[in-house]
Structure formats: C-alpha cells, structure tokens
Amino acid sequence: MPPTLPAIPPLLSSYLTLPATQQQPPRLILLTSVLGASTNWLLLRFLHSALASPTPATNTKVIMLSFLRDRVFWVDGAKKLGLDLEKEARWVFLDGLCGRDGVAGLKRELLGGLGKGEGRVLVVVDGVDWLVASAPPSSEAIVVQDILDDIFPSSASGDDGAATTILTLSSLPRPQTPETPLECAHTALLTTLAHRADYVMGLRLLETGVARDCSGVLRVTVGGDGGVEEGEVVYWVGGGGEVRVWERGSRG
C-alpha cells in the first residue's frame, strides 16, 4: 500500500466535513455497524476532520463519550492519522468502558462539557446503544429519550445549545422482527435515531463473502435536507489504519 493515502478519503470528504460556522444548523449523524464492520475508522476520520483539518476551525471542541472502547484505542488510532489527541486540549474524553461513572455521572459530565465551551462543539457518543443494552427492562426508553433531548434538542427548536452530534451504534441480526425486550428497545432506538438523523452512514460486510482487498460497504442514507448526496461506496482498511474508498465497479 502506498503510504500516501490521504487521511480523509476524497469520496467521503463531503460527509466528514462538519458545519463550519455557527450559522449553519447543527447536524445529527448516525453511524451504524454490524459485527465485523466496525465504525471506528470512520469515527477517527470525523475526529481528524474536526481537530486537524487543513484549515483548523478556531475553537472546535470535541466531547467524546465511548462506551465500548478505551481512551488508548482512540489515541493510538488518531496517532496513525497524524493527530495527537494526547496533547489536544480541545478533545474531552469520557470513558464509559473502564471509567467508574455510571450513566448518570457520564451524562452530567457530558452536559457540563457542553455548557462551558465557546464556539463549535462536536458531541460524539460511541456505542450509544449500550444504554439500552445495559438498562433493566422497561426503563431504557426513558433514559435514551432523556439523553437525546439533552444532547440534541430537535433541530426545529433552533436552540443555541444544540451541537453537531455523531452517534455510533450497531444493528442487530433481525431488525425486522424484534422479539425480546432487548431487541425491541434496540430497534426502537435505532429507528428513532434514523428518523431524526440528517444522514445515516451504515457499514456492512460484503454480501459475497470475505475479500482480501475489500473490508466492507458504506451506505449513506439522507433524511430531510441533509445537505449531502446519498450513495454507496466500498472501503478497505489497511493494517496500519489507512483507508481506501472507491465506488463499486471502479477499482481505486
């Protein structure tokens, strides 16, 4: 592999670019994964776009809550993209995996971080579906609704506190026919979020099986006036974290 692959694949740049000014409405972006096609590489590129783009937006602050991955993982991944999160003061990481805070504590921290920044704020929640998976039955819907309302007031309200938000979650094997409470809650969350999102970037594996030179398929579905184009591309993630993206049929 040539080591000169750009950190942000050109085909994805329009999706990865975040609203540049305060005037542009904030976005809700949803990244979905399946087993074997994780959203991590994509999320790292969002971080890169927010914190290390060639024209650094003056004071973008990123508050990131990760339920499924530890801090070291994100720092290492970003380092390979040339982004030193360790020294990055604008990156606030809340550890939902090894940390000791419960959901309530994390929420408080998240909202606290949201309040005091000036300029743009990007909220990232990795594995937001963990909230429903870990909740005792019948309470999950409330928790999720709470969090969503706090982090991302519906775009209609035009609230000042609104921030562009990126959420990642996984889709279950049988999305059409949920049966257990866990499956129902999960599906409800996914559907609600998908309806609210400006666009959904769904990752999945190739239908034809495993290929050496292709890791999976990325589909972008746009809701409302997402401001981006719908489309489907194929991607490959290298061992060193480099990513190649191309359209089906045209080998990159």
Partner 1 sequence: MSFRKRNIGLSSPSRTPQSPTQNSTSSLNPTPKPASPGVRPSPIDGRPTTSTGTPSLDALLAGHTGLALGASLLIEESGTTDFGGALLRYYAAEGVVQGHRVHIVGVGEGWGRELPGLVGAAEDEELEGAGKRKRSERMKIAWRYERLGEFGGVVGSRAPPPPTPNRIPLAGSSASTTTPAGASTSPPTAFCHTFDLTKRLALPSPSPLSFLPVAYSNTNPQASPFTTILQALTARLRESPPTAIHRIIIPALLSPALYPSHASQPQHLLRFLHSLRGLLRLHSSRLTAMVTLPLELYPRYTGLVRWIEILSDGVLELTPFPHLIDNSSSTTTTSGAAIAQEDQPQGMVKIHSLPIFHEKGGGGGALSGLGEDLAFTVSRRKFVIKAFSLPPVDGDTDAQQGKVGGGEEGKQTTHCARKFNMADDDEGLEALAELEREASEFNKDAEIDRILKAFRLDAYAVLGLQPGVPESDIKNTYRKKSLLIHPDKTKNPRAPDAFDRLKKAQTELMDEKQRTRLDEAIADARMLLIRERKWTVDHPDLISEAFAKDWREKTKLVLIENEHRRRKQVKGQMAEEGRQKKKEDEELESRKRKRDYEQEWEQTRESRINSWRDFTKKGGEKKKKKIKVLG
* Contacting positions for partner 1 (CB under 8 A): 1, 35-38, 40-41, 67-73, 75-77, 79, 86, 93, 95, 97-100, 130, 133-137, 170, 172-180, 182-183, 186, 205, 207, 209-216, 235-243
Side chain identity, residue 203: L
Could you tell me the smallest distance in angstroms from the CB atom of residue 55 to partner 1? 27
Residue (198 or 242) nearer to partner 1, CB = 242
* Residues 141 and 185: beta-carbon distance below 8 Å: yes
Contacts of 241 (CB under 8 A, 6+ apart): 41, 44, 77, 80, 81
Could you tell me the smallest distance in angstroms from the CB atom of residue 106 to partner 1? 11
Residue (146 or 183) nearer to partner 1, CB = 183
Residue (76 or 159) nearer to partner 1, CB = 76
Cα distance between residue 76 and residue 128, in whole Å:
22
Cα distance between residue 146 and residue 151, in whole Å:
9
Strand 231-237 vs strand 216-222: parallel, antiparallel, or unpaired? antiparallel
Could you tell me the smallest distance in angstroms from the CB atom of residue 29 to partner 1? 18
Could you tell me the smallest distance in angstroms from the CB atom of residue 70 to partner 1? 4
Is 32 in a helix, a strand, or coil?
Answer: strand
Residue (134 or 221) nearer to partner 1, CB = 134
Could you tell me the smallest distance in angstroms from the CB atom of residue 119 to partner 1? 23
Residue (164 or 168) nearer to partner 1, CB = 168
Helix (H) or strand (E) holding 168: strand 164-170
Residue with tokens 């775009």: 155
Residue with tokens 């087993």: 35
Q: What ranges make up the beta strands (E) of the chain?
A: 28-33, 61-66, 91-95, 121-126, 164-170, 199-204, 216-222, 231-237, 243-247
Could you tell me the smallest distance in angstroms from the CB atom of residue 17 to partner 1? 21
Helix (H) or strand (E) holding 63: strand 61-66
Residue (1 or 20) nearer to partner 1, CB = 1
